[in-house]
Structures are given as structure tokens and as C-alpha cells.
Structure 1
């Protein structure tokens, strides 16, 4: 596509994230709550969902896509090697199928040369590739509601395929593995355990591994206590507006032994609720709610998705689930650009000591409500050792926050916009143990870009920078 060649030269001037990043593999933090880089420095996992990346894009399009995502502050891309949309029978953009005779023990070298290119190009942009070895449907003998399906995996060839992948990418610092692929693994656990064993045999402990389940499910139900599962992934899904994602995250966060948790597939921007065209589409506001609710409930990062982008939709292919915009145009939908403000906010305060803490909300706060407030702070549960508190408010309302978890005598209060990342100072106040306000919406009225806000309450003595700034 000619437009991509022009766009590549333009967006190359705009790339501000990633290229200069130090190349470091990821590991689980010592407190088992976060992912960190090899040197122990914090890592905020902010992924875009590019499921069909290897299947539908050519190399120029891949470069354009990755450059765009890096420029918007994403740190990872989730993509599937054996893709869902007839990935075993329809060649990729270079005319290659992934396997010989549908055999996972016979990978097609030409196909994997494109996978190699994507992983290497992502490395240039400082992006991690969260790779699904296969879509989950290929491990079960069931018809797919939309596409061709063929069960190709057994315990034996899953192990062989996993070892092949582990060996091929063992020296790539920017790889994570996500098994599954939108499927409940019941009665197929042996296949996924074998694939994980193969990955470990091929690459040792070079890469982290997790599992992507189907909608409103979590990997912890089947694999939490396995040795190979490094962090849990839940899929809150696309079924209803204002889903109680915070409860789902909290359930995994509170498991024993502790493992990091991620909402790896929340509702996609521009997808219809319940996949039904009679229902409204999720917009950037709903997407923001899922993101802040998930992270403030204890998730170590977040995954963004867009209905037009996961399938890499163009006018040349049939739309799936009512896609309505070419993927290259959908890259600029507002929700994607707004995700970097969440990352910037979390990176602007002590990171690895952060905990969820709903006890600081000193007012009526219903579960399963569109205006549910979610709070996070640093410190230890049950102790008054915080240096900051953050609370996400989906809409303007009276507010009462317990601040006695902060020992300092004075507080500095900010309003932070999830829409544009602007931090508006409320100012310095005495720490009376509770911060209350009922007219704050008047204070920010002239600058209010959207209905949702984050209130950030700092120990004034810490002199933290404005939220979102390092």
C-alpha cells in the first residue's frame, strides 16, 4: 500500500518510545505482584491486541503498525502465530501457510521468517511480543462458529511444537508466551501442560508464560498452581457495559500463592455489546473504565483491544463481528491514545509497593455499578504507611476519602484526566484523616474533557511531581 510508505517516513519522526530502551527480558517481581525487567526496574504492561498480525499484514504494514503502537506508549503486542481466522488454510500476506500438512511438528520455515521479522522489528521499537503459539480452537475437536476449525494438537506434538518455538526465540529478550487462545481448557489440560513443557525445554526460563481463557473466565481456575504459569490472565470479555472487572481481578489477586494478574481481554473499543449490532458499541469512555478499574484493583498492567484492529480489517476481507473501519484508520481511535495516560500515571508514583485498597473509600460505593469507585495506594495492607492514594471516579460525584493511611501532616491533592493526561492541582490541605469535597466538579468544569477523573492525594512532604510526569 502506497499510503503506508509515506506514513512510515512521517511516523518515524514521531516515535518517542522504545527505541532507546535497554534490552531486558521480563521476570516476576519479588513480591509476586508485578512484572519487572531483569534489573528489577518496574515494567507497566500496556498491550495492544493484534491477533491477526502474522496472518494478514505484510512487512511494510507490520512496521507501520508497530511504529504507531510504540508512539502511543504501548509496551507489548498480543498476537497469534497460528491465527484464528482460517489461519491453517488461508496463507499469510506472503503466501505461506504455517504448517506442512497441518502438522505442528512440521512448521513451515517461510512462514516463520515473517514471525521472526515481527519479533525483531518489535525489538527495534522497544516492544515486547506476547505470543500465542496457537489459537485455542486447534486443540479441541469442535466446530468454530465463524471459521474453519481442525483439531491438530495432541499431547505429543504440542510438546514438540513448544520446544521448537522455545528454541527459535530463546535469545529474544522481548518475548512472552500466552497459551490457550479464547478457550476453556477443560479436558485438554494435558495439551497445554505439554506445550508449556516444550517451551521450557527449548528456552529454559528465558520467557514468562501464561494462559488466555475464554470470556469471563480466568487462567487461575485450571493452572494457578502449575509451575509453568508465571501470571494469571482473565478475560472480562465483551458481554455487558460496566462489567465488574474489579471483582474478577481481585479474586485472582487474593489467591495463594500470589501471582501477578492481568485483564488480558477486556471489551474492545468499537465492538457491539454482546456482539449484537442492535446494541451500542463500546466507546473510549467504557474502555477507560475497564482499564482503570482493572489496574486499581491490582492488575500489573492492561490490554487494550479494538474490534477493527484485532482482525486487521480492510475492505478486501469480510468484516467479523461488524467491523466498520480499516485497521490503519482505527489505530487513531481515541481509546488507544488514552491508554498511555494510565501508564504515565502509574509510573509517576512508587510502583512496586502499590496495592489495591477499597477501605479508603469513605462513602456508599455499590458493586456492579457504572459509577463504582476503585482505589489504590502504596504501602502494606492494614498499615498506615501510604505516601499516595489514587481513586478512579467514572463520573462526577461527591467524594469522601480516608487519608489516615498517610502519616504526613499535609496533603497535596490533584485531579488527573484519563482523557488527556492533564493534572489539575487542587492544592495543599491539612491531613485531617478524611478528604471530602462536594463542589470539585465546579472547580474543573471549564477544563473537563470527560466524565471520569482520578483523584491523586499525596503526602505533601514527598514533593512528588504532577501525576503522569516523571
Structure 2
């Protein structure tokens, strides 16, 4: 090992001297690292295939680090008792993941932040099947990554080899080295993860946080908890040194698509009770065995906190609020509000909603609405998704039919990444980052509008400093201006409209409240969605 920089991954490669019939199941390896402050850290190793084992390490501590390896077979001098040291220097680049460090929940449990206290805005893209060969390395990955970086995304949600929407170990889940596991889930395929390494490392090097979903929930039935626990051991060892977020499972309590529990309420209730208990134990195992203490969430059928029996194990409450456009608007707002109100608090993200282009609908107007209403009702960011990207439909190979027999859509990722919605949620993030968004709280009392569904405005901000209101065009609230309620006596505001499609600002001048402390804005010049912002004067 040579010197490296803060939070940058370095790798120790070891060669076993002894031969093992089943190294994945027979051997355990870890290294004890001594940090500059005199503390010990136990970092697990992982099997790299054949006689090769690897240990990956990163740290924010500047100075000299040393290590000693420990193998469950102490007679193997290639794995046991290896020692070394290296120096970690200050990171001098611009990558925020290296500059600011790992993610964590904020002290008030309302947003995520880096270890140095820098707030982190979650804007995720959904690449569930991004580790399959339909997204090729390096050209495809670098193209899609750069597009997302340019638009302002900060997270990519992807699944670690055990995918949704297919039978277990379907060939569509393969990459260039085959499938992630063997047929009976007794041995992992290290070569599969060699290819995955390229993609995950590139995301981190590009400043994007991989949110790694261990598996889709029904794999617990097919593989069993022992195999899923070993799967997580492998992920923790292989990717824990990277600045990642762990997602325990996807749609965790949902049985396989053809499972009888879908059609029998009593069986479904029994299944959910059982599977919640199992995923609770897996979640606790991840928390107890992650040497790098990365944030943990779980992808739900509805609320993440309902997927396990001990929601306090989670660092982020991820929601799934539906896929069917305008029909989901009210449900989405109510679910966000319910999760934000819930005690004990967790930061809230809508982790899956209304893929752009799905069914020929859910276009950029839906993406704008969902981004702004989720955020202004208390979410700490947003997850975007596009039909064609989540399943990685490629020109060379379409994904095909789901277990229910239908195909979700044949849009190609090569086209879908250009959808307007991805650009406009990126614009939304750029707008939000002009403010101290991490201090925002929902303030429905600032507005008085009976809108429902696609007409519902939302308001949030910081009292006495900033008020932001999203005005959907179909609510009729852009024709004659909009009334803001309860302005403070001692605060002088200046108002402006922002076009959420472009980010362009239009000054409205000084806010002069009426006798009842209300103020009615001028009407916008164009009929579409708008943001109305009131900013305290003399604030930068």
C-alpha cells in the first residue's frame, strides 16, 4: 500500500498460500488498522476469486495508518500476519465526497449531511439494473454519469446483483462475468463484482453517491437469510470503504410477484409479519458489522419505517408513493407529510415515484410537481426515475417482460436520459441551493388555497427570512396572483417569481402587506408552473 488522500479508497491485495476447496465459505479475513489517534479499526476482507483476497480502506484522518491482517486459518502466511503502513494526506481536489466525507443524518434528523457538517442534498437517479451488461463499461457508464453530474444529481440508486422484476438469477441480471451468485446461492461470483467495481468506483470518482440496494426483498425467500447475510458481508467488505448509502432491500416486505400471498389476505398478513422480523435482523446485522458506519435505509412498498420492526435502526426514511401520474399527487403529499410528522424523526426521501415516460405519461410537469411538493412538504431531497433507465433498456438488448407477463416499456436508456424531467429536477436543485434549504420547514399556514391533486400549492421556508411557494398552473393560482398569509411586522421582504423549467428569475419588487398582514403577488406573465419567493431584504 502507498500513500493516499482523505476519504479515498486504497486497496490491499493478498495471495493465499494454502489452497481451499470453498474459500468463500471456509475463510474469514480482516485487518486491524491503527489510526493516527491511536484507535483500532477492524476492516473486513473479501474473496477476489482464486487465491486472491482484498481489503479496502479509507479514512478522513490525516497521518500514518498501519495494519495487521488476521485470517481464520493462521497457518496461511499469505493471508495471516501481513503488516504494513501508509500515510493519508489532506484531499486537495473538488470532489465533495472526498472533501467533506461520509454521509450521516443531521442532529435534528431532518436532512443528510457530510461528516464535516456540510448539508447534502439528495437528488438521485434510479439505475436499478445499472450493474447489468446492458449498461456497458466504460462508454455507457461515463456518458450517463456525466449527464447526471452536469444536471446536478448527487446519488444513484442501484441493485447489487439480485434484481427486481425478474425470476431469481434470471440471465437478464448478468453482466460480462455472468450472474452474481451460483444457482443454489452457496457461492458468490467475485468476477461479477469485478465488473461492478468499475461502475461503483466511477460514480464515486464523479461525485455521485451510490445507494446500493443489497437485493430485492423476495430473495430472502429464495436464497435464505444465511445467504443474504453473506451477501451483505461481501458488500460491506467490498464497498464499505466507498462513500455509499446502504439500502437493505428493495420493496422489502413484498413477496415474489407470483406468490400466493398476493391473492390471500390472511397469508399476506402472516408473510409480512414474518418478513419484517427477518429484515429487522438483517438491518441490525448491517449496522453492527459496517466498519465505516455508512447510512442505512430500506426501499419500501410504501413507508420505509414500516418495512422493519425497529425503524430506529434506519438513518433515512425512504418512501414509494406510486407510479400513476396525477392520480398519485394527493397520496404523495399525504405520505410525505405523515413521514415527516412521525416520531422518532428521520430524514425523508421519496425513493420511487412516477417514472418519467411510463405509459407515455408522467412527463416533465409531473416530475416538477413531485420534486417541489415533496421538498416543500419536508423531504430532504428527491429521487427521480425514467422508464428505460431503471431497467436499462439498451439498443442492443431490450429488457423484456416482467413476471406478470407485460413489458413496462421499451424506451431506451440512450434516449430516456435526455428527458426534460431530469433536466428540470436538476434546475430545481440549483434553485433550492440558493437558500439555506436544510433549515426549511413546511408552512402550509402561509397559504390559503383549497387545491387538491394537480392544483395543490405547497409552501416552506424559514420564518422571517425566506418563503418559497410552488404554484402549479392547473390550480388557477397563477391567473390573478397569489395571497401570502401572516407576514411578520418587523420583516421587509422582496418578492420574485422563478420559472421552475429554466431557473429564470423575475423581480416583483418590495412586499407591502395589507392591514391583515397578507400580501397578494402580481400575476405571472406566462401560464405554467411558477415558484413565488419572498426573501428578506439585505440577505445574500
The answer as to whether partners of 1:408 and 1:461 remain within 8 angstroms in 2 is: no
Q: Aligned partners of 1:325, 1:226: CA distance in 2, in Å? A: 37
Per the TM alignment, residue 387 of structure 1 is displaced from its structure 2 partner at its CA by 0.3
Q: TM-score, normalised by structure 1?
A: 0.82
Separation in structure 2 between the aligned mates of residue 22 and residue 129 of structure 1, nearest angstrom: 11
Equivalences for 1:56-455 in 2 at 5 Å? Answer: 56-60=134-138, 61-81=140-160, 82-84=162-164, 85-86=166-167, 88-90=169-171, 92-103=174-185, 106-140=187-221, 151-154=222-225, 156-173=226-243, 175-184=244-253, 186=272, 187-204=274-291, 206-214=293-301, 217-223=302-308, 225-242=310-327, 243-244=329-330, 245-272=332-359, 281-315=361-395, 316-319=397-400, 321-361=407-447, 363-366=448-451, 368-378=452-462, 385-395=463-473, 396-397=478-479, 398-404=481-487, 406=488, 408-432=490-514, 433-437=517-521, 439-441=522-524, 444-445=525-526, 451-455=528-532
Q: Using the TM superposition, give the Cα deviation of residue 171 of structure 1 relative to its aligned residue in structure 2, in angstroms.
A: 1.2
- Cα–Cα, structure 1 residues 250 and 182, in superposed 2: closer, same or farther, change >3 Å? same
Q: Distance in 1 between matches of 2:289 and 2:196?
A: 17
Show CA shifts across 1:103-125 (max 9, x none).
1x622100111222112101111
Distance of 2:288 and 2:538 partners within structure 1: 51
* Range with bigger deviation, 190-199 or 258-267: 190-199
The separation in 2 between residues aligned to 1:43 and 1:89, in whole angstroms, is 36
Structure 1 pair 296–102 and aligned structure 2 pair: CA distance change class (3 A): farther
1:10 aligns with none
Following the alignment from structure 2 to structure 1, what is the Cα–Cα distance between the partners of residues 154 and 115?
A: 16
- Report if aligned partners of 2:124, 2:153 keep a CA contact under 8 Å in 1: yes
Q: Once the 2 structures are TM-superposed, how far is the Cα of residue 325 of structure 1 from its aligned partner? A: 2.6
Secondary structure of the 1:192 match is helix
Mapped contact 1:169–1:203 kept (Cα < 8 A)? no
Tell me the CA shift for residue 434 of structure 1: 1.5
**d(CA) in 2 for partners of 1:264 and 1:224?**
20
Q: Deviations over 1:356-377 (max 9, x none)?
A: 110100x2323x4211011101
Secondary structure at the aligned position of 1:414 is classed as strand
Alpha-carbon separation, structure 1, partners of 2:285 and 2:252: 20
Match of 1:6 in 2: none
**What RMSD over aligned residues (CA atoms) do the two structures have, in Å?**
2.1
Q: 1:458 and 2:535 equivalent?
A: yes
* 1:21 maps to which of 90, 93, 96: 96
Match of 2:11 in 1: none
Report the CA distance between 1:416 and its aligned residue: 1.0
- Distance of 2:126 and 2:97 partners within structure 1: 24
* Greater Rg by CA: 2
Question: Given that residues 165 and 199 in structure 1 are in contact (C-alpha distance below 8 angstroms), is that contact kept between their aligned partners in structure 2?
Answer: no
Instruction: Give the unaligned 5+ runs of structure 1.
Output: 1-17, 141-150, 273-279, 379-384, 465-470
**Alpha-carbon distance change, 407 to 208 in structure 1, aligned in 2, over 3 angstroms:** farther
3-state SS of paired residue (1:264): strand
C-alpha distance in structure 1 between counterparts of 2:279 and 2:146, whole Å: 32
CA deviations over 1:11-56 (Å, ceiling 9, x no partner): xxxxxxx963351110001111000011111111000000110013
Structure 2 portions without partners, runs of 5+? 1-92, 255-271, 402-406
Change (3 A) 1:411 1:196: same
Question: Does the CA contact (< 8 Å) of 2:280 and 2:310 recur in 1?
Answer: no
TM-score, length of structure 2 as denominator length: 0.72
SS in 1 for 2:311: coil
